[in-house]
């Protein structure tokens, strides 16, 4: 177990206990004893069942479905730790919900990502540790330090060792920067799916920029929600002559018709990180999950020991 002036304490809410337990195991410790329950009217109750006075606290909680319940759990756990005189409180949020509401797309729209940042800070968080924010500028919404880890290197290691990609395909223009980095590392060309979105969660493919005919294609995105973008994109490059199609993402939201779409799609394999737990009923044969526990454990250790984080981004 790593040691420092103040003892480390890891707690977890209900959103992603499996990942939290893996992180604790990597650090040679166990999750702290916390009682999180819900009253009959839906209110959430939290009780930290062990002392945290003066400790370095890391509260692990993805704000995935049910988003509002998991967010409230996290806020209440932070408040409980603050009132129990914890030394430093780091909110470890593998998946940061509400990140897509990062700007005013229309007049009179809220900027909910900023609101969530304010809530976390007001609750008492001293630092946030997360992964692959949907928009990098969300880090600037906080008045406390934010470490935004990258899942790309984990996915790169997976595909580089298997050498199964002839071309990296960006599912939309917004993902080009991420896909270009992966293509450069894999030393393969980049293709882009040019699309338009008539309304939320509805995507229409326009054309494909680049050569995918006769190629094994790898599509990458930061998150897959209803899977419309990734599946329609996969069908488009299949129609353009792609022989095999692999897809990967950091955050598998997989809401609504996502699983049905993925099952029927021409995607050969979907590789995703475990920032969001996948229920057994959603697990398909073509889905493979890679753990982020090593990276989060290293980041937590660096924060705890006040060591530089830069090496984790290399």
Q: Which residues are catalytic?
A: 195
CB count within 10 Å of CB 87 equals 16
Residue 19 near residue 292 (C-beta atoms within 8 A): yes
User: Would you report the helix, strand and coil content of the chain in percent, each value rounded to 5?
Assistant: 35, 30, 40
Residue 20 near residue 300 (C-beta atoms within 8 A): no
Q: In 3-state terms, what secondary structure has residue 189?
A: coil
Kindly give, in sequence order, each residue whose CB lies less than 8 Å from that of residue 153, ignoring residues fewer than 6 positions away. none
Reference 84, options 138, 47, 33; nearest CA is 47
Residue with tokens 């398909």: 284
Q: Please report the DSSP string for 89-101 in residue order.
A: EEEEESS-TTTT-
Give the E-state strand segments of 162-252 in sequence order: 167-170, 190-199, 202-209, 216-224, 244-252
Q: Which helix (H) or strand (E) holds 296?
A: helix 293-304
Q: At what angle do helices 67-83 and 112-123 cross, to 10 degrees?
A: 30
């Amino acid at each position: 177990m790593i040691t420092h002036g103040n003892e480390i304490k890891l707690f977890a809410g209900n959103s992603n206990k499996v990942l939290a337990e893996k992180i604790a195991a990597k650090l040679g410790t166990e999750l702290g004893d916390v009682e999180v329950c819900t009253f009959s009217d839906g209110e959430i109750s939290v009780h930290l069942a062990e002392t945290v006075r003066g400790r370095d606290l890391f509260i692990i909680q993805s704000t995935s479905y049910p988003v509002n319940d998991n967010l409230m759990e996290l806020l209440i756990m932070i408040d409980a730790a603050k009132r129990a005189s914890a030394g430093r409180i780091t909110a470890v949020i593998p998946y940061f919900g509400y990140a897509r509401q990062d700007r005013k797309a229309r007049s009179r729209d809220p900027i909910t990502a900023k609101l969530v940042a304010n809530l976390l800070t007001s609750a008492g968080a001293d630092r946030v540790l997360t992964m692959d924010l949907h928009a990098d500028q969300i880090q600037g919404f906080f008045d406390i330090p934010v470490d935004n880890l990258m899942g790309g290197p984990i996915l790169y290691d997976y595909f580089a060792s298997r050498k199964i990609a002839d071309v990296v395909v960006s599912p939309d223009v917004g993902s080009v920067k991420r896909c270009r980095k992966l293509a450069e590392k894999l030393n393969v060309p980049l293709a882009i799916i040019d699309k338009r979105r008539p309304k939320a969660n509805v995507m229409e493919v326009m054309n494909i920029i680049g050569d995918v005919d006769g190629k094994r294609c790898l599509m990458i995105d930061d998150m897959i929600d209803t899977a419309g973008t990734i599946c329609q994109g996969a069908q488009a490059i299949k129609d353009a002559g792609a022989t095999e199609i692999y897809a990967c993402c950091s955050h598998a939201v997989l809401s609504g018709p996502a699983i049905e779409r993925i099952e029927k799609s021409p995607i050969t394999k979907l590789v995703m990180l475990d920032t969001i737990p996948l229920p057994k009923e959603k697990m398909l044969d073509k889905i493979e999950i890679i753990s982020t526990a090593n990276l989060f454990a290293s980041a937590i250790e660096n924060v705890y020991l006040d060591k530089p984080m830069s090496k984790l981004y290399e």
